Amino acid sequence: MVKTYLSYINGKWVKSSSGKTFGKINPATGQVIFHCQAGNGKDVNAAVEAAKAAFGKWKSFPPPEKGEILFMAAHILEKRKEELAVLLTKENGKNLEEARGEVQEAIDITKYVAGEGRRLLGETTTSELPDKFAMFVREPRGVVGVITPWNFPIAIPAWKIPAALVCGNTLVFKPSSDAPACGIELVRLLNEAGIPPGVLNLVTGSGAAVGEPLAKHKGIDHISFTGSTDVGTHLYVEGAKKLNSVELEMGGKNPQIVLKDADIDLAVDGALWGAFGTSGQRCTATSRIIVEKHVAKRFTEKFLKRVRRIKVGNGLGKGAVMGPIINAGQMTKILGYIDKGRKEGAKLLVGGHRLKDAEHKKGFFIAPTVFTGVTPGMTIAREEIFGPVVCIMEARDFEDAVRIANSVEYGLSWSIYTKDINKAMKAMRLAESGIVYINAPTIGAEVHLPFGGVKGTGNGGREAGTEAIKEFTGIKTVFIDYSGRLQRAQIDVD
């Protein structure tokens, strides 16, 4: 029998008030693997009200004790790592090795922010007046709405939810309908670890039926969103209408520069992982390889030789390096970009089609695709494709490569391969990007460092690292005057 998951509201697993469910398809097999609740605005309202009612008590709960609950959650994650990795591969499609890595990322970030329970730091400073103490402290934002995508269905929720919890917020969580089960299981184990009823609530369903009422709800104090730039921009506008804070992590069009002095074999390794890891379905995926013309032919030949050896298949199968696209709609969108690339004059070197043989015909598989002859004005060089498609672009020199790399509306991850320390240091400064890698691919963020971008990628905030705490807290400034008399700042100063 196919399992049916429930939503989680006020400490109870419940059916949606809509009375409806939706099926989730394994993108590698085309089979329905489970059903989830088709939530609606009524469910969202019940979840928000539960979070509001739980906020006061959870806010006053000592942060170190919150941290202990999160350490327990990390321990449960460790025990269930293989089980969750298999579930992740079934619902998302990435191969089992990547799935294990993603669960490990969830373990790592949960442990990291658990430690922040003893380190929710404010600042103390001097006052301009005598016998007066000045400081600021961090406080939770309130009821937080968390909306996450399907490409990292347990890691991204784990970036957001434990950090929000340790800061004292209560939550309403909407996972992607394309990969909800890992998020549901994360909520289940957090509940098992000791999160009180009402503090963490989960409603599954579509963006229109659940995400929209969540964003518009007057009881929501902060939205944390990872997903497309179009949806993120819309959520930002809705938050502005209520003067709410909204944290956005959105798209990317990430470049890997390869200079003539680079270790070409290392650059090929990085480009393969960056472009085709998770089938290119990462906001940090390498979608443009900008190669200095002196080494363009050599790099391209080595790269294509490796690309042609990539095994595409079910992530649970033996030797599969690249899995399927998440769903039929996304597959059609990617194939549309490939067709547009051809029409605009780019040269297709390999791939460019759906795999339809006996092994692949029931799933949503696209062959690893490489274009050359791509210029900065082409659609495939400017827009986020979010699939296994990469453009090789030639640059005259270092300065031209930087210009091309910075020519898009996004600014998430930026990579350069060079042995010239002077150019590496200049690249760090010139990159219009939130993340810069030297001699490493555009993917591979670590949980104790801030993650996020500039331009069309985000609105200034960062996730992970110490910045994770800043996202989910506000600042309260406190003055303590023990002089025993009225003192007026800026006036009673000689």
Length of the chain: 494
CA 114, CA 73: separation in Å to the nearest integer?
9
Active-site annotation holds for 283: yes
Is 411 found in the same domain as 283? yes
Q: Which two tokens stand for residue 341?
A: 């690339």
Total domains in the chain come to 2
The mean pLDDT of 57-73, rounded to a whole number, is: 97
pLDDT at 167: 97
The mean pLDDT of 119-125, rounded to a whole number, is: 93
Is 208 found in the same domain as 325? no
The mean pLDDT of 242-268, rounded to a whole number, is: 96
Whether 447 is covered by a domain: the verdict is no
pLDDT band per the 50, 70, 90 thresholds, residue 370: very high
DSSP 231-261: HHHHHHHHHHHTT-EEEEE----EEEEE-TT
CA 492, CA 494: separation in Å to the nearest integer?
7
Angle among Cα 201, 23, 281 to the nearest 5 degrees reads: 80
The mean pLDDT of 395-405, rounded to a whole number, is: 97
Is 48 found in the same domain as 112? yes
Quote the domain boundaries for residue 125: 3-250+458-477
Is 243 found in the same domain as 285? no
Q: Give SS3 for 434.
A: coil
Beta-strand runs (E) in 26-96: 32-37
Whether 492 is covered by a domain: the verdict is no
Q: Which two tokens stand for residue 246?
A: 């909204």
For residue 338, give every residue at least 6 positions away whose Cβ sits within 8 Å of its Cβ, in sequence order, or none.
348, 352, 353, 369, 380, 389
Please return the burial class of 329, using the count of CB atoms within 10 Å of its CB with bins 0-12, 13-18 and 19+.
exposed
pLDDT band per the 50, 70, 90 thresholds, residue 256: very high
**80, HSE (Cβ side, Cα atoms, 13 Å):** 19
pLDDT at 466: 87
* pLDDT of 494 higher than 70: no
Whether 39 is covered by a domain: the verdict is yes
Whether 493 is covered by a domain: the verdict is no
Q: Which is catalytic among the residues 249, 292, 394, 463?
A: 249
* pLDDT of 422 higher than 70: yes
The mean pLDDT of 253-279, rounded to a whole number, is: 97
Is 353 found in the same domain as 245? no
pLDDT band per the 50, 70, 90 thresholds, residue 493: confident
Residue 265 sits in a domain of what CATH number? Answer: 3.40.309.10
Is 258 found in the same domain as 246? no
For residue 454, give every residue at least 6 positions away whose Cβ sits within 8 Å of its Cβ, in sequence order, or none.
411, 432, 433, 434
Please tell me what DSSP assigns to residue 346: P
Is 132 found in the same domain as 14? yes
CA 200, CA 11: separation in Å to the nearest integer?
8
Enter the pTM of the model: 0.95
* pLDDT of 106 higher than 90: yes
Is 314 found in the same domain as 226? no
Active-site annotation holds for 249: yes
Is 240 found in the same domain as 273? no
pLDDT at 1: 79
Please return the burial class of 201, using the count of CB atoms within 10 Å of its CB with bins 0-12, 13-18 and 19+.
buried
Beta-strand runs (E) in 46-180: 123-125, 132-140, 143-147, 170-174
Whether 394 is covered by a domain: the verdict is yes
Whether 444 is covered by a domain: the verdict is no
pLDDT at 492: 83
CA 452, CA 459: separation in Å to the nearest integer?
9
Whether 446 is covered by a domain: the verdict is no
Instruction: Give the N- to C-terminal CA distance of the chain in Å, as an integer.
Output: 80
Is 69 found in the same domain as 12? yes
pLDDT at 111: 97
Q: Which is catalytic among the residues 36, 167, 283, 391?
A: 283
Residue 45 sits in a domain of what CATH number? Answer: 3.40.605.10
DSSP 159-207: HHHHHHHHTT-EEEEE--TTS-HHHHHHHHHHHHHTPPTTTEEE--S-I
Is 412 found in the same domain as 277? yes
**Locate tokens 């990317």: which residue?**
252
Please answer whether residues 309 and 300 qualify as being in contact, where contact means their C-beta atoms are separated by less than 8 angstroms: no
Whether 490 is covered by a domain: the verdict is no
Please answer whether residues 16 and 43 qualify as being in contact, where contact means their C-beta atoms are separated by less than 8 angstroms: yes
CA 47, CA 49: separation in Å to the nearest integer?
5
Is 156 found in the same domain as 26? yes
